[in-house]
C-alpha cells in the first residue's frame, strides 16, 4: 500500500521515514522485555512423610530364570511350560502374591521370555519384574 508520488526537483518529500519509528519501537520492546519480572513455575506439593518402619510382612520371592537354551528355572529347578503354568496359577491365587524375579540369560531367546511373561499375565500374576539387568550393560 505504498504511495508513490512523482516529485520534481525542488519539491518536499511526501513519504514518512519509517526508520526512526522502527528504532524507537525496538528500543521500547527491549526495555519491556528486560523489565518484566522473571516468572518462576514452581509447583508446591505437600508430600507425605516417609515411612521409616519396614513392612510387617516380608514378601515371598520366587526366582524365575530363563536359560540360553530355553530351559525355564523355578527357584533353580528346571520346569516345563505346564508345570510353570501350575506354579504361576498357584502364585496368582496367594494373598499377598509372591514377588517373581525374572532373570533371563543374556543369550536367551526373546520368544521364550515373552511366552513366560504372557503366561504370567494370562494367569493373573501382578508382581513380576526383571533382575540381573547388569549383564546387559557390558
Q: What is the mean pLDDT of the chain?
A: 87
Distances (CA, A) of 39 to 5, 7, 14, 35, 77: 50, 53, 46, 12, 61
Q: Place 103 in a pLDDT band, splitting at 50, 70 and 90.
A: very high
* 42: helix, strand or coil: coil
CA 23 – CA 48 distance, rounded (Å):
55
Number of alpha carbons in the 13 Å side-chain half-sphere of residue 43:
2
- Residue 65 within a domain: yes
What beta strand segments (E) does the chain contain? 61-66, 72-74, 77-79, 99-104, 128-130
In a domain, 20, yes or no: no
Beta strands 99-104 and 77-79, pairing class: unpaired
Predicted pLDDT of residue 8: 63
* 123 confidence band (pLDDT: 50, 70, 90): very high
Residue 32 lies in a domain: no
Domain containing 104: what range? Answer: 61-133
Residue with cell 501350575: 86
- Within-domain flag for 44: no
> Which residues make Cβ contacts (< 8 Å) with residue 131, sequence separation at least 6?
63, 101, 102, 103
Looking up residue 125, the CATH number of its domain turns out to be 3.30.420.270
Q: Residue 91: inside a domain, yes or no? A: yes
Q: What is the DSSP letter of 37?
A: P
Residue 72 within a domain: yes
Q: How does pLDDT run across 45-92, given as a tens digit for each residue? A: 888 888 778 777 788 999 999 999 999 999 999 999 999 999 999 999
Q: What secondary structure letter does DSSP report for 28?
A: H
Number of domains in the chain: 1
Asked if residue 113 belongs to a domain, the reply is yes
In a domain, 107, yes or no: yes
80 Cβ contact partners less than 8 Å away, ≥ 6 residues apart? 72
Amino acid at each position: 500500500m505504498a504511495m508513490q508520488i512523482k516529485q520534481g526537483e525542488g519539491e518536499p518529500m511526501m513519504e514518512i521515514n519509517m526508520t526512526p519509528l522502527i528504532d524507537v519501537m525496538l528500543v521500547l520492546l527491549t526495555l519491556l522485555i528486560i523489565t518484566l519480572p522473571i516468572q518462576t513455575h514452581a509447583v508446591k506439593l505437600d508430600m507425605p512423610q516417609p515411612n521409616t518402619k519396614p513392612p510387617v510382612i516380608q514378601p515371598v520371592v520366587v526366582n524365575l530364570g530363563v536359560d540360553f537354551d530355553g530351559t525355564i528355572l523355578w527357584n533353580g529347578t528346571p520346569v516345563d511350560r505346564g508345570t510353570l503354568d501350575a506354579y504361576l496359577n498357584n502364585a496368582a491365587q496367594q494373598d499377598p502374591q509372591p514377588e517373581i524375579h525374572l532373570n533371563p540369560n543374556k543369550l536367551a531367546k526373546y520368544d521364550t521370555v515373552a511366552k513366560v511373561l504372557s503366561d504370567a499375565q494370562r494367569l493373573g500374576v501382578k508382581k513380576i519384574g526383571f533382575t540381573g539387568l547388569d549383564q546387559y550393560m557390558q
